[in-house]
């Protein structure tokens, strides 16, 4: 029966993995997939714009029937044509459009990397949060073992009248509260697992043993966050849009070659009329458009200024975030030393109070406080160690580094 229960419970997790394996799964996240599609679409559009530098060929045909037939109007005529056209100059619009799309491709590339880094950071947060909660649960289970052992001891004392019932009841009350704590921790673990499931696309269980490699860098001037790089390229695309908006102020020069063949049903048609080839060089120059072009150019310029201001704000914000991340990392390192010292002190205190409690020198309130402090200190140390790992990931993110590549 126990085996059946085991088999029933554990298929809930179809994948068990360490942090690196979870991040590999997160590469298939739907948000990442959407960014990939956006990048591919942007590349396709770049190719389409690039094709504008090449001549285009078009074919045409028509057939005409006339009710009245005379010497100048055939009853039926058929025409086929082939046209080869090439824009020699369009005021720089084509070049500006291509520059804009190149910038958008770069922006989409950085955006994809930024989304991947964001998802990685989320997975890392929940991974170490899971481990911290698990460490808390393990400490609470050990605390429960100590409480159960103490209850058994006090029950024996109560049976011979060595203690009062209220002393035993306080231990029982702590046991019941610890059961509630364990249930709360289990719920937290389940919630984290559910979050990891939608981030990775798989039902997962977490394995210990992953660390993050980080080399401290106090100067972030040479490093830029990936979302900042994406925004910079987006601003460049807006700059090219200004050139596009101004292009109608300049002439458009085009070359066109048309070959046509006609088939008429009246005898006066000659061979020269049946087959014809023409070459045309044309120029168009818009002289006046009621300030439409200048207004479009001004709108494009204002849009560029807006995006550039957003970029400046994002850079200041990123710089502040990097400094905050450095401070948080230093604080998390200090927490480890403090937690180690507290754990050592709480263990010594617990052993001392435990002996005094068993000798009847101190009451059970002091004992329960010392017991809780000991196991809380142990879980706090594990939480501090996990927090350092997460803060490393935050620093890598702020520096624009590939977080996934730093997992060991």
Helical axes 364-398 vs 93-159, angle rounded to 10°: 170
Q: Is the pLDDT of residue 50 over 60?
A: yes
Structure tokens at 374: 């000991």
Backbone angles phi, psi at 70, to 5 degrees: -145, -170
pTM of the model: 0.83
Q: Over the chain, what is the mean pLDDT?
A: 87
Confidence of residue 365 (pLDDT cuts 50, 70, 90): confident
Residue from 334, 325, 335 nearest 395 by CA: 325
Q: Residue 160 pLDDT more than 60?
A: yes
Closest listed residue to residue 31, CA positions, set 198, 196, 148, 147: 198
- What span, in angstroms and rounded, lies between the C-alpha atoms of 38 and 226? 16
Confidence of residue 196 (pLDDT cuts 50, 70, 90): very high
Task: For residue 158, count other CB atoms closer than 10 A to its CB.
Answer: 15
- Asked if 52 and 252 count as a contact pair (C-beta separation under 8 A), the reply is no
Residue position matching structure tokens 């102020």: 249
Q: What is the pLDDT of residue 360?
A: 82
Assign 76 a pLDDT band (cuts: 50, 70, 90): confident
Q: What is the pLDDT of residue 11?
A: 42
Distance separating alpha carbons of residues 290 and 249, to the nearest angstrom: 12
Domain 14-54+90-250+285-406 fold: Outer membrane efflux proteins (OEP) (1.20.1600)
Per-residue pLDDT tens for 318-344? 999 999 999 999 999 999 999 999 999
Listed as own residue / partner, the contacts of 165-169 with beta carbons closer than 8 Å and 24 or more positions apart are 167/363, 167/364
Stretch 236-249: mean pLDDT, rounded?
94
The answer to whether residue 28 scores a pLDDT higher than 80 is yes
Taking only the tens place, the pLDDT of each residue in 3-22 is 333 333 344 445 667 899 99
Pairwise pLDDT comparison (224 vs 321), residue with the higher score: 321
Whether the predicted pLDDT of 188 surpasses 90: yes
pLDDT tens digits, 142-159: 889 988 988 998 888 888
Q: Does residue 376 have a pLDDT over 50?
A: yes
- Quote the percentage of the chain above a pLDDT of 70: 90
The DSSP 8-state label assigned to residue 310 in this structure reads H
Position 13 scores a pLDDT of 41
What's the rounded mean pLDDT across residues 31-45? 95
**Across 188-197, 272-281, 327-336, least confident range:** 272-281
Half-sphere exposure of 305 (CA within 13 A, CB side): 6
Q: What is the pLDDT of residue 64?
A: 78
Q: Measure the N-to-C terminal CA separation of the chain; round to a whole number of Å.
A: 40
How large a percentage of the chain has pLDDT more than 90?
A: 61
Least confident of 27-31, 76-80, 310-314, 339-343: 76-80
By three-state DSSP, how is residue 326 classified? helix
Task: Select from 393, 397, 324, 388 the least CA-distant residue to 115.
Answer: 397
pLDDT reported for residue 371: 85
Please give the C-alpha separations between residue 323 and each of 2, 70, 125, 166, 330, in angstroms, as whole numbers: 54, 90, 19, 54, 11
Q: Is the pLDDT higher at 266 or at 190?
A: 190
pLDDT digits (tens, 9 = 90+) for 89-137: 999 999 999 999 999 999 999 999 999 999 999 999 999 999 999 999 9
What are the structural domain ranges in the chain? 14-54+90-250+285-406
């Amino acid at each position: 029966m126990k085996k059946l229960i085991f088999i029933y419970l554990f298929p809930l997790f179809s994948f068990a993995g360490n942090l690196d394996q979870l991040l590999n799964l997160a590469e298939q996240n739907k948000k990442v997939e959407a960014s990939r599609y956006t990048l591919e679409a942007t590349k396709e559009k770049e190719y389409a714009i690039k094709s504008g530098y090449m001549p285009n060929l078009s074919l045409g045909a028509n057939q005409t029937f006339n009710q009245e037939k005379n010497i100048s109007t055939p009853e039926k005529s058929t025409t086929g044509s082939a046209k080869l056209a090439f824009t020699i100059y369009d005021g720089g619009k084509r070049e500006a459009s291509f520059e804009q799309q190149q910038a958008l491709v770069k922006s989409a590339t950085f955006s994809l990397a930024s989304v991947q880094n964001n998802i990685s950071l989320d997975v890392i947060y929940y991974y170490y949060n899971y481990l911290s909660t698990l460490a808390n649960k393990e400490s609470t289970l050990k605390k429960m073992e100590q409480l159960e052992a103490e209850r058994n001891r006090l029950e024996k004392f109560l049976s011979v009248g060595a203690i009062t019932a209220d002393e035993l009841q306080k231990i029982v009350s702590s046991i019941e509260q610890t059961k509630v704590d364990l249930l709360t921790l289990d719920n937290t673990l389940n919630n984290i697992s559910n979050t990891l499931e939608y981030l990775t696309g798989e039902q997962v269980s977490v394995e210990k043993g992953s660390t993050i490699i980080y080399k401290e860098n106090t100067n972030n001037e040479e490093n830029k966050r990936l979302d900042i790089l994406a925004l910079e390229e987006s601003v460049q695309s807006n700059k090219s849009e200004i050139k596009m908006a101004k292009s109608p102020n300049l002439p458009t020069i085009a070359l066109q070659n048309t070959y046509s063949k006609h088939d008429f049903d009246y005898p006066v048609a000659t061979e020269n009329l049946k087959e014809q080839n023409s070459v045309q060089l044309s120029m168009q120059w818009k002289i006046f458009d009621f300030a439409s072009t200048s207004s479009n150019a001004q709108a494009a310029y204002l849009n560029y200024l807006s995006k550039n201001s957003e970029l400046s704000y994002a850079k200041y914000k990123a710089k502040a975030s990097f400094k905050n991340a450095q401070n948080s990392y230093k604080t998390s390192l200090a927490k480890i030393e403090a937690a180690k010292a507290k754990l050592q002190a709480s263990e010594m205190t617990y052993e001392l109070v435990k002996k005094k409690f068993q000798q009847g020198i101190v009451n059970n309130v002091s004992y329960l406080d010392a017991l809780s402090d000991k196991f809380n200190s142990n879980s706090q140390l594990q939480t501090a160690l996990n927090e350092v790992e997460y803060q490393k990931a935050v620093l890598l993110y702020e520096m624009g580094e590939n977080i996934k590549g730093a997992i060991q």
